[in-house]
Amino acid sequence: MPFKNSFRAKTVKEKSSENIKNFSKNKVLHTLVKPRSPQTIIFVEDIEDPWFIHVITYKTKSGVITDSSLIIKKDIDDRLTHLLHCGYEIVK
C-alpha cells in the first residue's frame, strides 16, 4: 500500500483567498505603503487579546491577503523599524 502524504503544501489554486475585509472589526494601529508598490501592510490588534498584533500584507486594489504574521505588542517598534528601512512609509 503506497504512503499517502496528507501534509503536502497547497498549490496556488488551493490557497484560501482571505480578504482584508475579514479584519474590518479589528483596530488598525499602523498602515504602511511603499511608493509604486501594489501592496499595503497594516498592523491590527487581535479582537480577543490586544497583546497580539496581526501584521497583514495585502494587495491594495483587490484586498486579497498575500502574507500575514502574528507578533506581540512589544515587537511593534522593531517590525516598524525594519519595514521603514525597507522603504515603506507610514500613512496612518
For residues 91 and 34, give the distance between their C-alpha atoms in angstroms, rounded to a whole number: 10
Cell of 13: 489554486
List the CATH code of the domain at 20-90: 3.30.67
Predicted confidence band at 7 (pLDDT cuts at 50, 70, 90)? low
Predicted confidence band at 8 (pLDDT cuts at 50, 70, 90)? low
Dihedral-angle region of residue 63 (phi above 0 means left; psi in -120 to 50 means alpha; beta otherwise): left
pTM of the model: 0.79
pLDDT tens, 40-91? 999 999 999 999 999 999 999 999 999 999 999 999 999 999 999 999 999 9
Res 89: pLDDT: 96
| For the chain, domain boundaries | 20-90
Dihedral-angle region of residue 36 (phi above 0 means left; psi in -120 to 50 means alpha; beta otherwise): left
Give the phi and the psi of residue 83 in degrees, each rounded to 5: -70, -35
Task: Name the one residue in this structure whose C-alpha cell is 501592510.
Answer: 41
